[in-house]
Amino acid sequence: MKRIHTYIVGMGLAALSFSACNNDFLDRQPSTSIGSDNFFNGEQDLKLYINNMYNFPGWGIYNDDQSTDNAATTGATEIKLVMGGNPTASAFPNGWNWEQLRSVNYFLANFRKAPLSEDVLNHYEGLARFFRAQFYVNKVKRYSDVPWYDQVINTNDTELLMKERDPRSLVVEKIMEDYAFAAEHVNETSESGAVNRWIVKAYQAKFALYEGTYRRYHSELALESTASQFLQLAADVSKNIMDGGKFRLYTTGSPTQDYMNLFVQQNLNGNPEVLLATYSENGIRNSGWNETVFGNYEVSPTKDLLQDYLMADGSYYTNQPGYTTFPFVKEFENRDPRLSQTYAYPGFNLLNVDTYSQGGGLYVQQLAKNFTGYHQIKGFVNDPSTVVQNNLDIPVLRYAEILLTYAEAKAELGTLTQGDLDQSINLLRNRVGMPQLSLTPAVDPVQDAKYPNTSTAQRPVLLEIRRERRIEMALEGYRYDDLMRWNAGKLLEKEQEGIYFSGLGKHDLTGDGVPDIILLNNNESIPAVKEKNTLGKDFIYYRTGSIGQDAGVFLKNGTSGTVQTSTDNGTFQEPKSYYRPVPQNQVLLNPNLKQIFGW
C-alpha cells in the first residue's frame, strides 16, 4: 500500500475553521466551545490544523486547459462569459472567498502556544505562510489589487473590514516575504504528498516567473521596471532546485512511452520527476478519474496545439507547404513523440471502452458536433479495471516545470547560454529523442505572429522555449495562466478547429490505408445496412454540415474543411478581460472596494 499524506480534519480543527463568503469574512467566531485555549497544545495539533489547508489539484488538471487554444469545450466556462458581449460585475458572484486566509491567520496568531523548539515552530510557521502565499497568488491572478490581511479580524474591526484594495505591488511583496520565510524554514524532507522545502521553492519560482512576465507585458500595471527582479528570482530559485540534485526527469530509455506513462502511474512514490503528487488508494481515497478526458465530453484537444509540435528532425511542422490541409494520418507522421503520447494517434489501440459504442481494438477517431475529432490520451487510463483507475496518482508538480521556468526566466533576462539550454530544455528533448535546441534558432513565422510583443534580446530562443512549455505541459492546466501573463489573451478569440477533411466520401483514420468512415451530405440519410470496407468492417457514417445545421459533424465549408467547434468565441477586451471584478454584492457592502480596469 502507498504511504499517503492524509488530510483529515479532526473535531478540534473543525471548530477552528471558519467559513465566510461575503463582507463579514474573517470575523466569525468559533461555533463550539473548542478554541485556542484547549488546542495548539503540541505538534500533533499543529500538524492536524495545517493538514486542513491542503488544497492541491487532482485528476481535474487534465480538463483545465479548456477554453484555451489547447482545448475546445462545450462547457459553460468563465472565460466564455468574460468574452461574450459586455458582462458586468453582477455576472461574477464567485471568487471572493476568504475562508482559507482566516484559517491561516488564526493559526499564525496561536500556534506558538505549543511548547515546541524554535526550529519546529518555524517549520509550522513556514507551512502556514506558504499556504497564505498560495491563497494570495490566486487572488492576485484574479483581481490584481486585493486587501492584504495578516491578522485575525474581529467583528468590531470596522476599519479593517471596510478597507479598500491594497495595490498589487504591496500584496506581491508580502507574498514573496511569505515564500522566502517558508523556503528557509520548512523542513527539507516530508512524507509523500506533504509540503517540504523543495515544494515551497518550486511554487516560489513559479510565481516569480508569473509575476515577472506579467509585469513585463502588462503596461496597465505600470510596473515594467520591476519585472527583472522577479525573473531573476525565478531563475535563481529554479537553479537552486536543479543544483540540489534531488530530482531528475523520469525515463526508462523509451522515448515513445516514458512521457505518456508518467501520467498514468498507480504509484508515484519515489518517482524522481515528481516534487508533489496527489496520491490515491482504491477504496481509501479514489483518484476521481473518469474516462471523459478521452473526448467528446465537453473538452477536446485542438489543431492549433497539434500544429505546434515539431517534426521529428526538429524542423517546424508549419513550414511544410499545405500543412493546413493535411489529413489526420499525415499530421502524425514524423513528429515529436510527445504528440502521439498526448493525442490518440492513427493506430491507437483502445482498451478502456466505458463510453465508446464502437468498442475496443484499433481506434477510429470518433466525431461529434462541436468537438474537434482529436482525443486526449495524456492522463487517460487505457485500462478497464476500476481498481487501476482509482489508484491513479496525479503529478501536481514536475521537475520538467522547474527546467522550463529556469530557461524562460533566463531568456527573458537575456542571459540564457547554450549551457543553460543543455541542462533544461534539452533534457526534456533528450527524454523523447528530439534534436537539441540551439541558442540561435531560426524564427518560426507562426510563433512570431502569436507573440509579437516579446521584448527580450533573445527573442528567437524565447519563442521556442514558449513552444516547448506548451508541448511539455500540454493539457495539464497551464495554458490559460501562460496566455494571461504573456499578454496573449487575444489568442482566445480564435475559433478552435479540428481534423481536416478534403470532402465527402471515404477516409482512413487508422493509418492502415483502408478507409474507415464515410462522410455524407447533411441531406443524405445514413443507410440501415452499412457498407463494409476491405477488412470486412462496417463503415462508420457521419452526416456533415455547417454549425446550426442538422448534421453529425460540422465542417468549415459544410462538406469539406476543418471540423468546427464554435462560430464566435467573443472578444477579449484588453486590459479588462485579464481580470475579474469584485462581486457586485461585495461592493454594495463595502463601497471602498472600487472596480478597476474597466469593470
User: Does the structure show a pLDDT above 60 at 381?
Assistant: yes
Q: How far apart (Å, rounded) are the C-alpha atoms in residues 318 and 4?
A: 45
pLDDT tier for residue 7 given thresholds of 50, 70 and 90: very low
Q: Within a 10 A sphere around the Cβ of 536, how many other Cβ atoms?
A: 6
Q: What local confidence, expressed as pLDDT, does residue 4 receive?
A: 58
CA 517 to chain centroid, in Å, comes to 34
Give the mean pLDDT of 289-302: 90
Q: What local confidence, expressed as pLDDT, does residue 480 receive?
A: 98
**Cβ distance 458 to 440 under 8 Å?**
no
Q: What local confidence, expressed as pLDDT, does residue 550 receive?
A: 96
User: Does the structure show a pLDDT above 60 at 333?
Assistant: yes
Q: What local confidence, expressed as pLDDT, does residue 358 receive?
A: 77
Give the mean pLDDT of 556-570: 97
Q: How many percent of the chain have pLDDT more than 90? A: 89
Residues contacting residue 392 through CB under 8 Å, at least 6 positions apart: 59, 264, 265, 266, 280, 287, 289, 381
Give the mean pLDDT of 337-349: 98
User: Does the structure show a pLDDT above 50 at 141?
Assistant: yes
Q: What local confidence, expressed as pLDDT, does residue 374 receive?
A: 97
Q: What local confidence, expressed as pLDDT, does residue 525 receive?
A: 97
Give the mean pLDDT of 374-396: 96
Q: What local confidence, expressed as pLDDT, does residue 364 receive?
A: 95
Give the mean pLDDT of 540-548: 97
User: Does the structure show a pLDDT above 70 at 21?
Assistant: no
User: Does the structure show a pLDDT above 90 at 357?
Assistant: no
Q: What local confidence, expressed as pLDDT, does residue 295 receive?
A: 81
CA 204 to chain centroid, in Å, comes to 17
Averaged pLDDT of the chain: 93
pLDDT tens per residue across span 68-87: 999 999 999 999 999 998 89
Integer angstrom CA distances of residue 490 from 484, 486, 568:
10, 11, 13
Q: What would you report as the CA-atom Rg of the chain, rounded to the nearest whole angstrom? A: 25
**CA-CA-CA-CA torsion for 228, 229, 231, 237, nearest 10 degrees?**
160
